Chain A
Amino acid sequence: MNQTTYKSAVTADAAAALRASEARLAAEAAALTRLNQASSHLWRIQNLRDGLDEMLAVTIELLGADKGNIQLLEAEREVLVIAAQRGFSQPFLDYFHEVSTQENSACGRALRSGRRIIIEDVETDEPYTLLRPVAREAGYRAVQSTPLIGRDGVPLGMISTHFRVPHRPIEHELRLLDLYARQAADFIERCRLDEALRESVAVFRAIGETVPDFLWLSDAQGRPLYENPAWCVYTGLTHEEFLQASWEALYHPDDLPALQQLWAEASQHGGTVQFEARVRRHDGDWRWFAGQLAPIKDEAGVTIKWVGAQTDIQERKRIEAALKERSDELRQFLDTSATGLTRLSRDLRYLAANEAYARIAGVPLDQIVGHSMAEVMGSTAIETIRPYFERALRGEIVEYEAVVPFSVAGDQFLHVVYTPWRESDGSVSGWVASVTDITARKQAEAALQSAYNELAQSNAALQAKEIERRALLRQLVTVQENERQRLSRELHDQTGQHLAALRMMLSILNEPLQTQPEQFQVFTQIRQLTDKLGQDLHTLAWELRPTRLQEAGLAVALAQYVQECSARTSIAMDFHFKGDEQRRFPVLHEIITYRVVQEALTNVLKYAQAQQVSVVLEYFPDRLRAIVEDDGVGFAPEKLGTSDDGLGLRGMRERAALADGKLEIESSIGYGTTIYLTLPLTENDRPEGVV
């Protein structure tokens, strides 16, 4: 070959090479232009699906591929799902509908490794063995899969292109592909962000439409941008009317100054504020609302909008007011109570207390509630009452009286009732104490007790004296009885004899003096006087002497006495006896009975003008009873009560009392008089065999 030829040949080669490189450059420039166009086009596309189709078309064109698809990653399940495809039939789409990282397909491997995978020929690629039938069916021999990676490095999806013949894209194509994949990933992220934004706006509106609360939006200066329907309905204003109206017109004049100040502070500092105010309803009615106003700020921290919300708290306000009223009432109720009331917790703290309790404890009320028992009453007092409140904490109702040594108030004599405080689940969380100061009562009781003791003492002394008196009187009765007998005997044996002798001697003078009338008259008077004296003396002796009481017993002696009395007075006297004639009683009982009957009969003879007298004597196992009844003139019962009844009734009563007996008198004018004497008999007085 010659030099020229060589030179021309070289020149020709160079020219060809130049042309080729020019052509390549032109192609690259065209591709870049195309890419640029595609990118700007993509920016204009709002819809994800349209964007994906566009991206796939551009990529296929770029790589000169026959078919392709774009998969999006479902991050949670870690699977790729086909979102766009071109040139595939249904079986392929079904087969690759979802691809996991485990699979050996190009996309599976690319996802696993995070890098692009190029399979030049599926027939020679070992890992692809199992997928070959699918590839043959779909009609491709080569495939490349390039991951789409988001800004923050998170995989978003996969773009794959397929070739009918074995093929490997050149380096230049792949660089362009990478550039485009970057654009595509941005597009996917942008679309997703838009969707989220659209969703959140929709949610905000939906919330705004549904909540009963009021929501609104305004610009930084407070000009209305949006009002939810509830707010419009309540105020009766449309959005246009909101624009016209001043917000101040909506709130109660009394609440306005505070609101205005809040607004001023909020707009100055851009912070969230909360308020409560009355808001005018469309019909002019005012209701309470709780509101919140919060700024929306841009990235620079500048407030761009305000969002407001208001909740109806009318009912809450009403309940609060009612509750306060109830609570005030209860407080007053508790504080006017004279009983100390307090509620304590298991850890020995005061949860509540009233004024009366504060007075007992000697501590101001505000230093009790919330404080511990140790602070208010002191540890000594706690130990004193511990056994009681521990029982209350075990669920018992406890009542006690004790002296409680308060550290401030000192010893307090208290009456206390503990009631366990139960929670809704039934557990005992503390107790309620009802505390009454009973110092005064105890003092009164003590005073009463000592007065009572004194009384009892003097009573006992009096009783002792009375017993002594009775004993003396009993003794006196016996002594008197002996004295009577002595007197009776004296009258009988001495005076009576002398009187008898006197009468006899006087009788001697009867005859001689008859001749001397004057002397005889005197003599007769002397005799009469002597006779009278004799009779009186005899009667006296007879009355003084219970003839046979000692030897024969009461029944026999009384029978005889009544008989003699009847004989001496010629008044019908009827003695009735029921009992054992042999039964004997203490001397005192016999004497008393005998003498009382004697006295009663003497009264009958003196006053009654009776025609018939009954004397009844009856022995019972536990008592004896004597009754003297006459059918005489009787007397008015009013006379009975008087001390000086003239009938010796008092003396008879006294005698009866000496044997612990009872004397009763019944009488009425014209119906006679009855005297009942009842003497009780003790075990010892009763005859044997009688219980």
Chain B
Amino acid sequence: MKKTLRIYLVDDHPIVRQGLRMVIEKQKDMRVIGESGDVTTATAQIAELQPDVVVMDLRFPNGDGIQATEAVKRNAPHIQVLVLTQNDDLDSLQQAIAAGASGYLLKLSAVESLIPALRAAAAGSLYFDPQIKALVTSTFQPPPNVSQKQVELSGREKDVLRLLAQGLSYKEIAAELDIGVKTVESYRYRACEKLELRSRSAIIRYAGQHGWLHDA
């Protein structure tokens, strides 16, 4: 016989707690042993009831889910805390993990992620909402490649790239070099083709790397 997972809910919205309870209690091996709308009451009850997992919101009218998570983990490190929030930003994620949370769920996708997250928490592993995962992944994108191509640029092409890197518009460059706007465009695209630079940011990086931005 599998041990029933004892769960405590902390959320200031009763309707959310009700929904959570409905979803959780559909599972035969899970039981909500208590719930609260404010962190102070919750902290006290959690210490008393000793649930296996706490589902914790982050924002409260009179309190802060991060601090509550820290308190729970400080008093009873064996209790797993799953953060369930509307906040889909990296900061909140970072703070939650730092406070000792075992998972990070977004409320809108709670229907899909809550049960797997609870099981993962029970098993002592971490769980993150897929949407949060994408955000985390984008943070750890490798730095964009800087073109290493050694290509000979014409004087005008180099001028155009240098001025683009300095943040000038086509019109400003055209005036500066006394040529037409269309001509500026075509110099740019020819030079970018040669160097395989795909954006203005790439041009700026290339210019910086070649010391073009200091002699201006």
Q: How far is the CB of B176 from chain A (nearest CB, A)?
A: 15
Do B135 and A564 touch across chains, with their CB atoms under 8 A apart?
yes
Determine whether B99 belongs to the interface, using a CB cutoff of 8 Å to chain A.
no
Q: Which of A330-355 contact B (CB under 8 A)?
A: none
Size of interface on A: residues with Cβ below 8 Å to B: 48
Within 8 Å of chain A (Cβ to Cβ): is B204?
Answer: yes
Question: Which chain B residues in 173-190 approach chain A with CB under 8 Å?
Answer: 181-182, 185, 189
Of all chain B residues, the one with the shortest Cβ separation from A615 is B201
B-facing residues in A485-506 (Cβ within 8 Å):
492-493, 496-506
Check: A616 CB closer than 8 A to any chain B CB.
yes
Q: Which of A100-108, A320-328, A570-578 contacts B (4 or more CB under 8 A)?
A: A570-578
Bound CA–CA A511/B26 (angstroms): 10
Most B Cβ at <10 Å: residue of A505, A548, A674: A505
Q: A500-B108, A574-B202, A616-B167 are known contacts. Are A505 and B86 too (CB-CB below 8 A)?
A: no
Please state if A504 and B138 are interface contacts (CB–CB under 8 Å): no
B108 touches A505 (CB 8 A): no
The smallest beta-carbon distance between B13 and chain A, in angstroms, is 4
Q: Which residues of A contact B181 (CB under 8 A)?
A: 666
Stretch of A178-186, A272-280, A385-393, A623-631 with 4 or more beta carbons under 8 angstroms from chain B: A623-631
Chain B residues, Cβ within 8 Å of A566: 138
Residues of B within 8 A of A523 (CB): none
Partner of B171, one of A499, A511, A538, A664: A664
Complex partner residue of A502 from B19, B86, B198, CB under 8 angstroms: B19
| Most chain A CB neighbours (cut-off 10 Å) among B108, B114, B137, B171 | B108
| Contact yes or no, B23 A504, CB < 8 A | yes
When chains A and B are docked, how far (Å) is the Cα of A623 from the Cα of B204? 19
Chain A residue at smallest Cβ distance from B57: A497
Chain B min CB distance to A543 (Å): 13
Query: Any chain B CB within 8 A of the CB of A213?
Result: no
Is A576 in contact with B108, judged by CB distance below 8 angstroms? no
Tell me the bound Cα distance from A542 to B88 in angstroms.
9
Tell me if B139 is interfacial: C-beta within 8 Å of chain A.
Answer: yes
What are the residues of chain A within 8 A of B202 when measuring CB–CB? 574, 614
Indicate whether B158 reaches chain A with its CB closer than 8 angstroms.
Answer: no
- B73 at the A interface (CB under 8 A): no
Main secondary structure of the interface of B (DSSP, over half): helix
Q: Given the complex of chains A and B, what is the CA–CA distance between A506 and B111 in angstroms?
A: 9
Min CB distance A426 to B, Å, is: 59
**Most chain-A Cβ atoms within 10 A of its Cβ — which of B11, B170, B181?**
B170
Q: How far is the CB of B125 from chain A (nearest CB, A)?
A: 23
Q: Is the CB of B23 within 8 A of A507?
A: yes
How many Å from the CB of B79 to the closest CB on chain A? Answer: 23
Given contacts A508-B22, A612-B198, contact A671 B189 (CB under 8 A): yes
Interface residue count for B (Cβ, 8 Å)?
A: 42
Contact A505–B19 (Cβ < 8 Å): yes
Residues of A within 8 A of B167 (CB): 616, 618, 625, 627, 676
Would A567 and B135 count as touching, CB distance under 8 A?
yes
CB of A668 within 8 Å of the partner chain: yes
CB distance from A513 to the nearest CB of B (A): 14
A8 within 8 Å of B (CB atoms): no
| A574 → chain B closest CB, angstroms | 4
Render A561-585 as a binary contact track against B, CB cut-off 8 A, 1 for contact: 0011011000000111010000000
Of A501, A541, A548, which one neighbours B15 at CB under 8 angstroms?
Answer: A501
A504-B110, A567-B138, A671-B185 known; A493 and B201 CB under 8 Å?
Answer: no
Interface Cβ pair total, 8 Å cutoff: 118
A498-B13, A567-B134, A616-B200 given; A503·B111 CB < 8 A? yes
Report the Cα distance A545→B202, complex, angstroms.
Answer: 29
B18 is an interface residue with CB less than 8 A from chain A:
yes
B18 in contact with A501 (CB, 8 Å): yes
Q: Say yes or no: A504 contacts B111, CB within 8 Å.
A: yes
Asked if residues B108 and A535 are in contact (CB atoms below 8 Å), the reply is: yes
Q: Mark A507-547, 1 if CB is under 8 A from B, else 0.
A: 11001000000000000000000000011001001100001
Docked CA distance A653–B154 (Å): 36
Does A560 touch B at the CB level, under 8 Å? yes
CA distance A643 to B169 in the complex (A): 22
Which A107-127 residues have a C-beta within 8 angstroms of B?
none
CA distance A578 to B189 in the complex (A): 24
Taking CB as reference atom, which chain B residue is nearest A506? Answer: B111
Closest chain B residue, CB of each to CB of A563: B138
Q: Assess the B144–A574 pair: CB atoms within 8 A.
A: yes
A142 interface hit (Cβ, 8 Å): no
B152 adjacent to chain A (CB < 8 Å): no
A82 at the interface (CB under 8 A from B): no
Complex: how many Å from CA A575 to CA B185?
22
Minimum C-beta distance from A502 to chain B (A): 7
- Smallest Cβ distance from A618 to chain B, in angstroms? 5
CB distance from A564 to the nearest CB of B (A): 7
Chain B, 115-158, contact with A by CB distance < 8 Å: what is the 0/1 string?
Answer: 00000000000000000001101110000100000000000000
- Contact between chains at B26 and A508 (CB < 8 Å): yes
Distance in angstroms between the alpha carbons of A428 and B121 in the assembled complex? 118
**Which A residues from 594 to 624 make CB contacts under 8 A with B?**
612-616, 618
A553 to chain B minimum Cβ distance, whole angstroms, is 14
Closest residue on chain A to residue B203 by CB atoms: A614
Say whether A564 contacts B200, CB under 8 Å. no
The residue that B201 contacts in the complex, of A497, A499, A548, A614, with Cβ under 8 A, is: A614
Cβ-based interface call for B32 (8 A): no
Q: B91 at the A/B interface (Cβ < 8 Å)?
A: yes
Known: A501-B13, A504-B110, A567-B135. A674 touches B169 (CB 8 A): yes
Q: Are A574 and B13 in contact (CB under 8 A)?
A: no
**A618 neighbours in B (Cβ, 8 Å):** 167
By the criterion CB–CB under 8 Å, are A578 and B199 in contact? no
Closest to B200 in A: A614
- B-contact bits for A258-289, CB 8 A (1 contact / 0 none): 00000000000000000000000000000000
B16 contacts chain A at the CB level, 8 A cutoff: yes
Contacts of A542 in B (CB 8 A): 88
Q: Can you name 9 extra interface pairs (CB under 8 A) apart from A500-B16, A501-B19?
A: A492-B86, A499-B108, A503-B110, A508-B23, A511-B26, A538-B86, A567-B134, A629-B200, A631-B199
Provide 19 A-B residue pairs closer than 8 Å at the C-beta atoms, listed in order of the A residue: A497-B13, A497-B16, A498-B13, A500-B19, A503-B19, A503-B110, A535-B108, A538-B86, A541-B86, A548-B91, A564-B89, A567-B134, A576-B201, A576-B205, A578-B204, A612-B198, A616-B201, A664-B171, A666-B181
List 8 tightest A-B contacts by C-beta distance, closest first. Answer: A504-B19, A500-B107, A501-B19, A614-B199, A576-B201, A574-B201, A614-B200, A567-B138
